[in-house]
Structure 1
Amino acid sequence: MPISPYLQSLRADLGRRCLLLPGVSAVVFDDEGRLLLAQRADNGEWSLVAGMMDPGEQPAETVVREVYEETAVHVVPERLTSVLTQRPHTYPNGDECEFVDICFRCRAVGGEARVNDDESLNVGWFTLDALPPIGEMTRLRIELAVRPGDAAWFAPPGDLGHDPAFPNASVR
């Protein structure tokens, strides 16, 4: 998966040091209440569709673009469900980053789910009671998206909310 020209220019200046990067993720439901997941090409794990924002792009634009680019599904963002940081990650090439994830609950409005780029091995619709194996952060974002109400979850100041393994990061 090639990196964006914007990120490539940052890496040229800053090297492999940790970058704080804005990104989005999408909890997408169809009319039957099934959840859209993608099996990532880089690690084989099932996850929500996610991606980094481009300069000048609004988060809702990014989520619509990323879902279509990766799955060929057209979506409408319905609401913001969470804002959180994810623990720092080091890629195999040594690049370090920490993502600020803005998660949206979205409704599928068209398209047929399929692998639409090289970022996924597989895509599919799943009922909530029959999900493939998923990581803690994916599960947390799904749980936050299905909770009733319009308020987005965030870690209060001082919380270590970027890692659900910490006791004080539990969803309130």
Structure 2
Amino acid sequence: MPTPEFILRLREHIGHQLLWLTGVTAVVIDGDSRILLHRRADDGHWAPPGGIVEPGEQPAAALVREVYEETGVHVVAERVASVVTEPPFTYANQDEVQFLDIAFRCRPIGGEVTPGSDESLEVAWFKPDELPAMNERVMRRIRHARQEGPAWFSG
């Protein structure tokens, strides 16, 4: 995935040190209860679309942008599903990050399902009982988005 320009500028000053970022995850659910996933180009794993909120950008707007860029699908963010601080993570290049992830439940409103950029290898809809293997953090976001009620957060 291409690194946003603002992060590259920050890295010039802080090197590989821990960088706190806001991320958004879209759990897109269609009228047949299928979930939109893309197979990420950076690691080959299936995941809901999402990305990093740019400076001055609203989280829901970032989410809509990222979903379209990665999948070709236009969405509307319906509600916040969860807000979680994820554990720190170190990329292969030794850059350290920690994300505050805001997961949204979304519904598709148009577009064509296709890898929209070099960030996605494949894009597909999956029935909830036929999801590919994904890590527990991703599965937690999907579970919370599929549930009705208020957003989930850790106390």
TM-score, normalisation: structure 2? 0.97
- Hey, what's the Cα distance between the residues in 2 that align with 1:2 and 1:123? 18
State the match for 2:86 in structure 1: 86
Q: How big is the shift at 1:2? A: 2.3
The within-5 A match list for 1:58-73 is 58-73=58-73
Q: Tell me which residue corresponds to 1:129.
A: 129
AA matched with 1:71: T
2:140 match: 140
TM alignment of 1:95-106, pairs within 5 A: 95-106=95-106
Q: Equivalent residue for 2:13?
A: 13
The CA distance in 1 between the partners of 2:26 and 2:2, in whole Å, is 21
Instruction: Report the alpha carbon displacement of residue 10 of structure 1 after superposing the two structures with TM.
Output: 0.6
Give unmatched runs, 5+ long, in structure 1.
157-172
The residue aligned with 2:152 is 153
Cα deviation digits, residues 104-138 of structure 1 (max 9, x gap): 00000001111011111111000001111111011
How many pairs were matched up? Answer: 155
> Runs of 5+ in structure 2 lacking a partner?
none
How far is 1:42 from its partner?
Answer: 1.2
Q: Does 1:56 align with 2:56?
A: yes
SS of corresponding position for 1:42:
coil
Whole-angstrom CA distance in 1 between matches of 2:115 and 2:2:
17
User: Which residue of structure 2 aligns with residue 109 of structure 1?
Assistant: 109
Shift of 1:89: 1.0
Deviation per CA, 1:66-110, whole angstroms, max 9, x where unpaired? 000100100000000000011111111110001110010000000
Which residue number in structure 1 is paired with residue 30 of structure 2?
30
Deviations 1:25-72 (A, max 9, x none): 000011221100011111111111110001110000000000001001
* TM-score for both structures, normalised by structure 1: 0.88
- Greater relative CO (CA pairs within 8 A, separation 6+): 2
Two-structure CA RMSD over aligned residues (Å): 0.8
SS in 2 for 1:3: coil
